[in-house]
A and B are shown apart, each in its own frame.
Chain A
Amino acid sequence: MARMNLLQALNSALDTAMAADERVICFGEDVGQFGGVFRATSHLRDRYGNERCFNTPLVEQGIIGFANGLAAAGFRAVAEIQFADYIFPAFDQIVNETAKFRYRSGNEFNVGGLTIRSPYGGGISGGHYHSQSPEAYFCHTPGLKVVVPSTPENAKGLLLASIRDPDPVLFFEPKRLYRAAVGDVPEEDYTAELGRAEVLREGGDVTVLAWGAQVEVVTRAAEMAAEKGIDCEVIDLRTLLPWDVETVTRSVLKTGRLVINHEAPRTAGFGAELSATVQERCFLYLESPICRVTGLDTPFPLAHEREYMPDHLKTLAAIEQTVNF
């Protein structure tokens, strides 16, 4: 075990993956010698050479197009998009190419070796274009997997699993936690299963569901609720596509209540999908309406970031409302 922040854990995952398999190739803007603007790829070029860890020109559609081709050639391409806000020039490559590569060819070709890493989310005074949480766009695309870690320990395991997964993965990294989240991380090679949620705290009154940086927020709200005598079950979804319906519904069948928290705007956010499916499966067991605590339906703000965020206080209020419905 070593104490690592989330960035160091990601760096350890990349290092581990590259050491174990020479087909793992890391690239993106400023990823080479500089080690990425957040330093997730620090030292990798020195260790594995410029052929396996390199800078690309500043062109997101090119990076993902190139990555699709490299993955189709049998490599484990790990492409970095510097901010999730800038992933949209590559939307066509991801949605029309990455996601459909295996299907459209009848499995003659696939890009299962592809992992797209990208920092997402607010809380860093990043305004419109360094704060967005675009996961829902991609969760609407069959053929992709979407993974969001929440701690240094699961970040390493989930990234290693994503790189080795037979399907292409979008790996959204909560940049607010890059240096803020510190924990014990195994130094050895390990993976965390994709498609599995984690129950972080067991409770009988209400299920509280989140992913990424919001896991910390809802955990705090759950602790505050406990002081008021409310017993929350907290679930970290970890993989959004395909998501762990079994763990979530088992919990809601027990508690009869669900609060979903995400940073992205509410309308057509991934919370809507979760809410709909849980309602379909748990209807007769629900004691109150499923409640969403989310960002507002505005572009991500700057001066009003604190007001916009679905913070612990809003979450606590939602928990109380749900329990007292």
Chain B
Amino acid sequence: MYAPSSVDAPRIHTPDFITESALTIPIYGMLGEDGRPYEGADPSGVAKEIVLAMHDAAVFTRLLDERMVAAQRQGRLSFYLTATGEEAATVGSAAGLEPDDMILPQYREQGALRYRGFTAAQFMDQLFATEDDLGKGRQMPVHYGSRALSYMTVSSPLATQIPQAAGYAYGQKLAGEGRCSICYFGEGAASEGDFHAALNMAAVIRCPVIFFCRNNGYAISTPVSEQYAGDGVAARGVGYGVRSIRVDGNDFLAVYLATQEARRQAVSEGVPVLIEAMTYRLGAHSTSDDPSGYRSRKEEEAWQRFDPIARIRAFMEAQGWWDAERDEALRQGYRDEILAAMKTAEAKPAPSLARLIEDVYAAPPWNLTEQYEALREQVRANPDAYPKTAGRIE
């Protein structure tokens, strides 16, 4: 039978439209801005070691971002993209998953990758496109990926990963191993056709996927007021038949608990779930962007008060799990590790010339082999023009 709702729906006899504000979605939060649990919010479901691990990954990510922006300013790196202010959204959600659930990132989820165990050296190998980069030096900085950590390699086109997550999750369901996928994207990417395609398909085909929107207020310079007119992204989920929740994206505990519950429902019922995490991009879109052209310092300062790391730290201290001394030790240790890893990566050679034609196909066809042979001769004949590869042709 088609469209049962149209058959059984009650009839009205005046043309009353449902208003665009009929559905107003609340925000799920556990910790207030001072890091104290709200009245009625019970944080006891989050184990101490989870809180410490989330904080640890978030601090690493914050320090990595600071260091790499500085490196870009110094001309040591072509490009970088920080996640500052969004660490609770990415780390908290990764913590709410099982380690072998698949993550399909957009490009600002280094916190989730760090939570999975990506090392400082691995970050640097990708950022500096060294011969040890898992991606073989083929993509711009921050396009991380790791099969071992179930973290799908980043691709620049926005929203393409969202229908892919539905398909990946469908495969996980067929495999029957109780796994799910999580897919990250921003509120800007949620305007792309792929977002709408994905939510509809995942709901109809019943895919165990968590759609995780980082609503950070801006798509480069475009504020949400110029991105959408409805009640954010969560309201769209309802229209597609996807259960949806809006969470305080700067609250580690709320993000963790919401993701854990989303995962439980996705896997046990084989359905998609949408989480809209309300957060704020404290930094620029990327090192190629300057936010002073489109937003006020006052606005940025207002959001500093909601810094997720300060909030979880206050919570940890109130629990007696943390203090200033441990905090400084953690930070100094990571600063040193990151700097050392950067120096090591900077000294490493680029991938050899042969990597250029590998992986286009499982095996290079005749045209690639021919083109490679010609290029190799060109590099051999003009070593000064191609210093990265000339010294080590295979």
Contacts and interface: CB of A to CB of B under 8 A. Distances in A.
9 contacts: A65-B166, A68-B163, A69-B104, A69-B165, A73-B102, A77-B167, A102-B362, A107-B358, A145-B361
B4 interface: no
A73 B172 contact: yes
B167 A73 contact: yes
Contact of A66 (B170, B359, B360): B170
A109 B155 CA distance: 12
B72 to A, nearest CB: 22
Interface string B185-198: 00000000110011
B147 interface: yes
B155 A62 contact: no
A102 B164 contact: no
A183 interface: no
Contact of A97 (B155, B168, B204, B368): B155
A112 B360 CA distance: 11
A69 B169 contact: yes
Contact of B201 (A66, A100, A245): A66
A64 B160 CA distance: 10
* Range for the number of chain A residues in contact with chain B: 35 or more
B200 A108 contact: no
B135 A108 contact: yes
Given A109-B147, A167-B362, A51 B153 contact: no
Contacts of A107: 136, 358-359
B157 A97 contact: yes
Interface in B195-233: 197-198, 200-201, 204-205
Interface residues of B, number: 49
A229 interface: no
A59 B157 contact: no
Nearest to B135: A106
Contact of A69 (B138, B167, B174, B366): B167
Interface in A20-63: 25, 51, 54, 56-57, 59, 61-63
Interface in B329-383: 358-363, 365-368
Given A72-B164, A97-B160, A65 B153 contact: no
Contacts of A74: 171
B359 A70 contact: no
A67 interface: yes
Nearest to B364: A242
- Identify the 4 closest CB pairs spanning chains A and B, nearest first: A65-B163, A69-B167, A62-B197, A73-B171
A65 B197 contact: yes
A297 interface: no
Interface stretch (A88-96, A154-162, A299-307, A309-317): A88-96
B163 A106 contact: no
Contacts of A25: 174
Contact of A57 (B143, B155, B200, B360): B200
A106 B359 contact: yes
B149 to A, nearest CB: 10
B127 interface: no
Nearest to A27: B205
B366 A242 contact: yes
B265 interface: no
Contacts of A75: 171, 174
